[in-house]
Structure 1
């Protein structure tokens, strides 16, 4: 069965270089900004924040603001200079408030876990040779399992997910203390679909903190209907390898599914020049938007080049999380997709699915690097004839988005 991994293709995208500010300064700036934004006076949606967050004292707010000013000032003075060990140690000690999921880049669903409190606090840890790995939080919404991994201690020379490119297509190396392997089992079964496994995809996501990463499990399936890829409750066993440390870090964590979700059957199709796009179903959770669709075409190359975006009724494009495509066994012309996007900031009254063909750096090739504009964005050729707009129940989705650990009746103490 031919398959298409949208995550792997997305890694080919080029991104503009970050400003030339020392990594330590930049990371701690971003962390403190995130912490400041989590305070009640900085929140636009504070009406359903947790009471524990509302009770942050004015003194603590002042101290945190002072820390942020200190970091900005240091960053301005140093510019591109190297950070001294003393300053580095001081910056690393600046505290963060609330959920570490707030550090997730370009993923509104995970960032809102700070407000809702829906993430499960597990506090698993393992220590070897002076380094401690922790899994303090995770969340499973029935679609994706997101896991926070943090690192503390000495004997490290880079970020937790850093790699050193060796060039010439050879395998990357890892700095001391970086994760070089991450193996997971669910109820004792592997996640990769082999040996009666769960057929899931594992990927790592960087955060604004060099010592914090997010690992995510998503389904490697494009079935014609929504089904949870994993049980409602299970035991997750992870085995993590760090460069320079011989013994693996092993942790076992109980996981439960957050059941809140809204599903809608769409079954809308559009056709253009012999190509047919069909949107079958869409599903919402407090952190994820999932859709099932299919592309029917005799042109295999065109079909595999087609990409998708999801827009709300305010013109906002939902962030892409991941996706998987596979050919229908009995119908070779049909390519089915299971595509994941972040949640929306506000519940919409309608949603728009757009299809586009990205331009390639090499116009004669159907693979490789995408062509970027002057802003560092992929050049997209939208196909208006394949656009699908459909209504959704705004009130129901908004109620879903306002679910928290308090309204759900969880005891997080």
Structure 2
């Protein structure tokens, strides 16, 4: 250990590079990314402690990926490493419980692709696809600003704030044909608790049957003050196990309103319900006069009594009838034996304000006659 303490900073960097080189890693590894990051911060920082900490944290990542050569880490180093944060999955830090579960169960893939331009490095670190949603995790390096996603100044043209170099615009995802990947809803944003990371979620994907179990996508990410976007081609593989696809065609009627469950897809990370309906939205005795029902929404309840609601927003108009409703739900704790579709409406006044309960939550009016129970094979 005394030899390590007396080394120059350059000698330490050389030792780190040599030691990491002796670690056995998968073909697609973080080796190059880690060394680039060590050297980038080593040149930029000028702080000896920062350099040592970064090197130690990087080696911690390597321990998680490969087999460390015998005798490489001394007891002092082991104690130091135990006190440092370990880089982990971006998906584990999102507010999407399905993505968290997928990451914890090892259901995601790691392309480990990086592009560097003008001192800024962008990496595609994780991908998850289950036929319902496609999630892509990005990591940025070489930028001091804590912000990752730039403020979008024009959502029609995807124009964004260019005042700070390295801020990211909205990623664009296209198929090999050049056609944009179609989806019902999406979200893009920084990941809380994970500096320099960005998460793109594309949900209710269109025409997934045509995509197959494996396909290529092209990802283009514009970056502030850098002329050309950062581009990646990623192979997406559909989750192979734990997927249930049902087309029950069952439903129920009340007065003039009728609906059918066209399809119900269940994966370890999400559920997707597609409903077709026709007829006037039913109204309860309380939804008269200045009050009226919203459109019909659909809650899902499993045989254990667990309840999940759709992630879609509320249409603040009275009695809007939607011929097709395509909704995404969080998954149940375990695969249920049955799922009951429980339709309900909310109540609006003449100013289109939602009627709220004592806790400030929208009052739900359930329509018992419209419930239907689907058996999960």
Shared fold by TM > 0.5? yes
Which residue number corresponds to residue 17 of structure 1? none
Tell me the CA shift for residue 240 of structure 1: 0.7
TM-aligned CA distance change 1:313 to 1:213, over 3 Å: farther
Q: Does 1:180 align with 2:136?
A: no
CA distance in 2, matches of 1:291, 1:215: 22
**Which of residues 186, 198, 215 is equivalent to 2:200?**
215
Measured in 2, the distance between the counterparts of 1:306 and 1:174 equals: 42
Residue 370 (structure 2) pairs with residue 386 (structure 1)? yes
CA 1:377 to 1:334, structure 2 compared with 1: closer, same or farther past 3 Å?
A: closer
Q: Which has the larger radius of gyration?
A: 2
State the Cα distance separating 1:138 from its structure 2 match.
0.4
**Are 2:243 and 1:252 equivalent residues in the alignment?**
no
1:355-386 deviation digits (Å, cap 9, x = unpaired): 222345xx2256xx756656564443333332
Once the two structures are superposed, what CA deviation does each residue of 1:156-181 show, in whole Å capped at 9, x if it has no partner? 3x532353789xxxx98577343323
Q: Which residue of 2 aligns with 1:16?
A: none
For residues 306 and 178 of structure 1, do their structure 2 counterparts lie closer, same or farther at Cα, with a shift above 3 Å needed? farther
Cα distance in 1 between the residues matched to 2:77 and 2:347: 50
Aligned to 1:228: 209
**Structure-1-length-normalised TM-score:** 0.58
Task: Provide the residue aligned with 2:328 in structure 1.
Answer: 340
1:352 to 340, 349, 367: 340
CA pair 262-244 structure 1, distance change in 2 beyond 3 A: same
- Greater share of residues in strand: 1
Correspondence 1:116 to 2:116: no
Aligned ranges for residues 285-300 of structure 1 at < 5 Å?
A: 285-298=267-280
Q: CA deviation at 1:294?
A: 1.3
Aligned partner of 1:103 among 71, 89, 93: 93
Structure 1 regions of 5+ residues with no counterpart? 1-51, 68-93, 192-197, 326-332, 394-413
Q: Deviations over 1:36-80 (max 9, x none)?
A: xxxxxxxxxxxxxxxx79x9xxx999979966xxxxxxxxxxxxx
Compared CA separation, residues 254 and 387, structure 1 to 2 (3 A) = same
Residue in 2 aligned with 1:199?
Answer: 182
Structure 2 gaps of 5+ residues are 1-63, 68-75, 284-291, 316-320
Q: Deviations over 1:314-353 (max 9, x none)?
A: 3333364569x9xxxxxxx871233222222222222122
Distance (Å, rounded) in 1 between the aligned partners of 2:134 and 2:301:
24
Once the two structures are TM-superposed, the CA of residue 202 in structure 1 deviates from its matched residue by 6.1
